[in-house]
Amino acid sequence: MKIIFYEQGADIDAWLGGLQRELPDADLRVWTPGDTAAADYAIVWRAPRELFANRPDLQAVFNLGAGVDAILDVERREPGTLPPNAKLVRLEDTGMARQMVEYATHCVLRYLRRFDEYDALQRARRWQKLPQHARESFTVGVLGLGVLGAEVAKGLLALGVPVRGYSRTPKTIDGVQIFAGANRFDAFLDGVKVLINLLPHTPDTEGILNARTFGRLAPGAYLVNVARGPLLVDADLLAALDSGQIAAATLDVFHTEPLPQDHPFWTHPRVSVTPHISAETLREESIVQIAGKIKALARGEPISGIVDFKRGY
């Protein structure tokens, strides 16, 4: 089988070496512009349109991340770019869930125990004790209960805070209050103190973190966006921070990445910025998962993680 690989800036030797170890009979190559030779599988992250075009042989495209918005955007802009019979397969966990649980836990503890405010007090050389937040009303709402969101919701229960989750279809997670479907969105939001976003970027979710959403949260709520930048209306967050409706935000993803130098988030005293690192693609775990799925497809067996183009995730 022929496999093409594309990821700008990746450690190519490590990726191809690992893939060859798992798939000894595969003919692996790095895709470069102008390469139109046949390929059965593509393993890519943020690949240009040209890689996908005119490849009727392609059986599956493996996305080196959980979010497939970049690939679907290529198809949305120029329908028919992706080979019609190729499956689009995203990474499922591969060590990302644990990283997301760590990131979310850090944020919730930071806000629950007011460490962000103590940092500011230290900078002002002020020795001042702040009253603790009441744990029982420090409700955390997790938007998206998929592979990552479900683990985050479960992990946060260990902090003893009430945890809610929101998804398109109903779920059962012990200890987590579930809200499913658009008609339950407002009920989900009502009174949430920390909103953690783990929804995929689709036409339905774009801009969902907006003034209306913020207005339904508990006063002085906190926002954590670890999904994708376009789900947030930046100006609405800045206004909500000004009014106090949002007390502080931690943002890992942005409309434009890297975040432009002149963006107000960089210097806002109540915004924490990280450079899209809340859950990174781990090479070994990803190689093993992708190789396992390629072997299953070659045997004609079903695999999980296939993207539904209509749903957009």
> Footprint of ligand NAP on this chain (CB under 6 A)?
66-67, 96, 144-149, 166-169, 198-202, 204-205, 226-228, 252-253, 276, 278-279, 313
Binding mask 250-289 for ligand GLV (x = CB under 6 A): -------------------------------x--------
Q: How far is the CB of 38 from ligand NAP (least distance, A)?
A: 30
Binding mask 101-140 for ligand GLV (x = CB under 6 A): ----------------------------------------
Q: Give me the DSSP letters along the chain.
A: -EEEEEETT--HHHHHHHHHHH-TT-EEEE--TT--S--SEEEEES--HHHHTT-TT--EEEESSS--HHHHHHHHHSTT-S-TT-EEE----TTHHHHHHHHHHHHHHHHHTTHHHHHHHHHTT-----PPPPGGG--EEEE--SHHHHHHHHHHGGGT--EEEEESS----TTEEEEESGGGHHHHHTT-SEEEE-----TTTTT-BSHHHHHHSPTTEEEEE-S-GGGB-HHHHHHHHHHTSEEEEEES--SSSSPPTT-GGGT-TTEEE--S-SSPPPHHHHHHHHHHHHHHHHTT---S-B--TTTT-
User: By beta-carbon distance, which residue lies closest to ligand GLV?
Assistant: 65
User: By beta-carbon distance, which residue lies closest to ligand NAP?
Assistant: 146
Q: How far is the CB of 194 from ligand NAP (least distance, A)?
A: 17
Given the residues 98, 276, 299, 311, select the one marked as catalytic.
Answer: 276
Phi, psi dihedrals of residue 88, rounded to the nearest 5°: -105, 120
Q: Which is nearer to ligand GLV, 162 or 305 (CB)?
A: 305
Number of residues that bind ligand GLV (CB under 6 A): 4
212 flagged as catalytic: no
305 touching ligand GLV, by CB under 6 A: no
Q: How far is the CB of 192 from ligand NAP (least distance, A)?
A: 15
Q: How many CB atoms lie within 10 A of CB 312?
A: 17
**Residues in 183-202 that interact with ligand GLV by CB under 6 A:** none
Q: Which is nearer to ligand NAP, 2 or 98 (CB)?
A: 98
276 flagged as catalytic: yes
**Residues in 41-70 that interact with ligand GLV by CB under 6 A:** 65-67
204 binds, among ligand GLV, ligand NAP, none (CB under 5 to 8 A by kind): ligand NAP
Interface residues toward ligand GLV, by CB under 6 A: 65-67, 281
Q: Which residues are catalytic?
A: 228, 276
